[in-house]
Amino acid sequence: MKYVIIGNSAAAVGCIEGIRKNDQSGEILLISDEKHATYSRPLISYWLKGKVVDKNMYYRPEDFYEKNGVKTMLGVKVTGLDAKKKTLTLSDGSKVDYENLLVGTGSRPFVPPIEGVNECKNAVTFLNWDSAIQLKSMINENSRVIVLGAGLIGLKVAEGLAGHVGTLTVVEMASHLMPSVLDDKGAAILEKHITKCGVNFIFGDSAAKAGTNELTLSSGKKLPFDVLVVAAGVRPNVELVKEAGGKVGRGIVTDDEMRTTLDGVYAAGDCVEAVDTVTGDRHIMALLPNAYMQGEAAGINMAGGKADTPKVMPMNAIGFFGLPLVSAGSYDGEEFVEEGEESYKKLVFRDNKLLGYILISDVDRAGIYTALIREKIDLKGVDIALLKKQPQLMLFGKSDRKRILAGGGIAQ
């Protein structure tokens, strides 16, 4: 069996480890347009900050490929996919054939149509290590930096830059930060904390025109800058599959086994739209844990095994300037909210189940909440008062607790 993997991040690594659970000998070829050995994308802001040094950027040990019998082609881009002939065309013109293929092409930064942005030499995006290296080379302690977008990436860039630059301003179109994750109350707590750490915010405004050293906002306001970081979101890299005739919605469409509509072609990670285990909706849930689990499932399945459908859902564990934030699930239901000076807890219930949560500051044992959501636990036999107080296993009844304490999992 010959496996080819496009991509070199969590989905790819998950796929390799999945394949090797079932097939110790099959040939694996990994092709990536990045020259680095597999590294952790989420760490680039930590690297920028200086908290993570080069050697700790790597997602797997140095001997990972060798131990798993993986051949790599790094710095090579796959430019074409012929699903009928089962061949790939590479940027160097060569062709590679496969029996099973994983498309783990990830995503790319979305650059909104801002006048002059493409010509602006000091405008960058922030998604991979190289972009972080580039950004680092552009800044000094006096740099005036504007970040477009107060989503996850935008805020992480800001954190990475804080203390290394002169001024930091984040411009966000929505009325508060992290609009896709947080409600306004949670966002306000986070904003207060981040502001204290030297980051300025402008909400409800967006970039209209990027000059050489001046950004004009839609409101007409003009902001001088030395470096402009565009962090306005990402778009999945679906073209390869789309052009080969595979079904693509918001992302590459896969079934429960991570197969695309093309024979022998699987997909996983940020390029894929998957079924949200909480809501049943299909959308892109671009998160490292999801990518790994999807990649692993694809790997197991392509090697002839039978993987459980990855239970993916939106979730985030992220901290800014030492204030941790964890969230998971979705938020259309009955709310329970507890607010503190620098803490926030929101639990959302529907149909006697926990549907989602947001925790700021005290995130200890949040995984118990996550599991209640992921496994759709009926809260009938659960002590709701304890559940609201804090995540704990005491909230389960005796027999469930016995099973759980023995390591039998939360699922009833």
Partner 1 sequence: MKKVYAIEEYCLACHLCEYYCGFSHSGESSIVKAYKKGAPQARIQVEEGSEVNFALNCRHCDNPICVKSCITGALTRDEDGVIRVNQEKCVGCWTCVMSCPYGAVVRGHGDKSVALKCDLCTESGDTPACVQGCPNRALVFEDRGDAK
Q: Enumerate binding residues for partner 1 (CB under 8 A).
A: 14, 40, 42-43, 46, 51-52, 56, 58-61, 288-289, 292-293, 296, 315-319, 322, 324, 326, 328, 363-368, 370-371, 374-375, 391-394, 398, 401-402, 404-410
DSSP reduced 3-state for 183 = coil
C-alpha–C-alpha distance, residues 195 and 201, integer Å: 8
Q: At closest approach, how far in Å is the CB of 348 from partner 1?
A: 16
Q: At closest approach, how far in Å is the CB of 98 from partner 1?
A: 25
Q: Which of 40, 98, 55, 346 is nearest to 244 (CA)?
A: 98
The residue among 44 and 148 lying less far from partner 1, judged by its C-beta, is: 44
The residue among 179 and 324 lying less far from partner 1, judged by its C-beta, is: 324
Q: At closest approach, how far in Å is the CB of 145 from partner 1?
A: 22
Q: Which amino acid does the sequence have at 168? A: L
Q: At closest approach, how far in Å is the CB of 86 from partner 1?
A: 29
Q: Which amino acid does the sequence have at 412? A: Q
Q: Which of 402, 360, 352 is nearest to 379 (CA)?
A: 352
Spatial contact of 22 and 298, defined as CB atoms under 8 Å apart: no
Spatial contact of 284 and 268, defined as CB atoms under 8 Å apart: no
Bridge-based pairing state of the strands 123-125 and 227-230:
parallel
Q: At closest approach, how far in Å is the CB of 366 from partner 1?
A: 5
Q: At closest approach, how far in Å is the CB of 392 from partner 1?
A: 5
The residue among 48 and 240 lying less far from partner 1, judged by its C-beta, is: 48
| φ, ψ at 393 (rounded to 5°) | -80, -15
The residue among 166 and 340 lying less far from partner 1, judged by its C-beta, is: 340
DSSP 406: T
The residue among 337 and 405 lying less far from partner 1, judged by its C-beta, is: 405
- Name the residue with tokens 């906002």: 217
Inter-CA distances, 48 with 5, 192, 224, 320, Å: 29, 23, 23, 14
155 membership: H or E segment, kind and range:
helix 152-161
Inter-CA distances, 219 with 173, 249, 368, Å: 11, 34, 45
The residue among 88 and 371 lying less far from partner 1, judged by its C-beta, is: 371
Q: At closest approach, how far in Å is the CB of 340 from partner 1?
A: 17
Q: At closest approach, how far in Å is the CB of 411 from partner 1?
A: 9
The residue among 88 and 315 lying less far from partner 1, judged by its C-beta, is: 315
C-alpha–C-alpha distance, residues 169 and 189, integer Å: 18
- Name the residue with tokens 């002590």: 383
| φ, ψ at 89 (rounded to 5°) | -105, 135
Q: At closest approach, how far in Å is the CB of 282 from partner 1?
A: 22
Q: At closest approach, how far in Å is the CB of 53 from partner 1?
A: 10
The residue among 223 and 354 lying less far from partner 1, judged by its C-beta, is: 354
The residue among 82 and 383 lying less far from partner 1, judged by its C-beta, is: 383
Spatial contact of 252 and 246, defined as CB atoms under 8 Å apart: yes
In the structure encoding, which two tokens stand for residue 45, read together?
């802001």
Query: What is the per-residue DSSP string for 340-368?
Result: -SS-EEEEEEETTEEEEEEEES--TTHHH
C-alpha–C-alpha distance, residues 3 and 292, integer Å: 17
The residue among 50 and 75 lying less far from partner 1, judged by its C-beta, is: 50
Q: At closest approach, how far in Å is the CB of 373 from partner 1?
A: 10
Inter-CA distances, 278 with 62, 71, 87, 241, 353, Å: 37, 37, 37, 27, 10
The residue among 87 and 316 lying less far from partner 1, judged by its C-beta, is: 316
